[in-house]
Amino acid sequence: MTFFINTYFVTKLKKFWIVLFVLLSQTLFAQYTNIINSNRPGFSESPYSVGTKVYQLETSLLYESTDIHPTFSKSQSYGVDFLFRTSFFKEKLEFNLNLAYQNEQISFQNIFNSSYYKNGIRKLTIGAKYLIYEQKYKDKSKEIRSWVERNRFDFKRLIPTVAAYVGINTGVPDDVFVTNDFSPKAGVLLQNDLSDNFNIITNLYYDRIGTELPEFSYIVTATYSFSPRWSIFIENQTLFDKYKYQSNIGSGIAFLYNRNIQINSSVRLLADSSTSGFYSSVGVSYRFDRHVDKITKLDENGTPIDDKKFKVKKRKFFNRLFGKVRNVFSKKSKRKNS
């Protein structure tokens, strides 16, 4: 009996750590959480929203270096990346704006090597995502009679949570060879919580739709939380268009400073059909939290009460006035009778 009680409290403590660490592991079971929910330092995006009346800014300082190859190439670049996220109408719906400002060294290799620098907005995308399906899991912490049942793998975890993404590229080029095209972007966001502290996020995107260089890409991110404040991840991103492919594999670490601030860092190896290089970043995510939970009224049996059934009809002005007059005379009559 003592063994079962100790196991029960250990399990409860573990659940508390997991809730505290929900940001870093991105294991989210509701739209709004008491702790900041950041996508950084990975490139992938969780299907979950930040929640209504939450205003969140995720920033990164980045540096990228690649080999110089024949014709034009971006040999070095550095800058800052911003992702602003918020939700207004529904918990499941999020709006975001992604902006990147970079200074790039454009190199040309032929008989002689030459280069020049340019700076400006590299990317400006406005998007929205909506949670279509959220997978629910059985709370096995309440199972104290069977150790086997409590630790049995829940095969529902193989079914992902799903969100749809739509966005608009505002015409700012994100490559030397791309023209300034106003184009749509669409994607599917998936998340599998394989355990309470390990999950996999998969993103599929179709970008620059309708342009001369449409692009398909995927991102797969595996995240593991090993303490209440720390987590690590490994990620692969690959992009295809009709001329070339680009791929990177990277890893990083995130630290939860407090419930509204997260600090992170990452490093990646880059490769495409003609060159290779590396990418590094360090960033901070901050949120301004004004979220208010909806209060659900419950009856004595714990059943939610429908407020529509208990609406009080508003009395018109003259009804209220004559009602007061009747109350005055009724009080006087009571005094006389007494």
167-185: per-residue pLDDT in tens? 999 876 555 445 557 899 9
- 35 pLDDT higher than 70: yes
Helices and strands in the chain: count of H runs, count of E runs: 4, 12
DSSP state of 298: B
Cα 199 to Cα 28, 221, 328: the distances in Å are: 10, 8, 69
User: Do residues 160 and 138 lie in contact, with contact meaning Cβ atoms separated by under 8 Å?
Assistant: no
User: What's the predicted TM-score (pTM) here?
Assistant: 0.74
Domain ranges of the chain: 2-69+82-100+120-289, 307-337
Token pair recorded at residue 260: 């509204």
Token pair recorded at residue 301: 């049996």
pLDDT at res. 334: 52
2-21: per-residue pLDDT in tens? 444 445 444 544 444 444 34
Closest CA to 185 of 158, 203, 159, 161: 203
CATH (residue range 2-69+82-100+120-289): 2.40.160.40
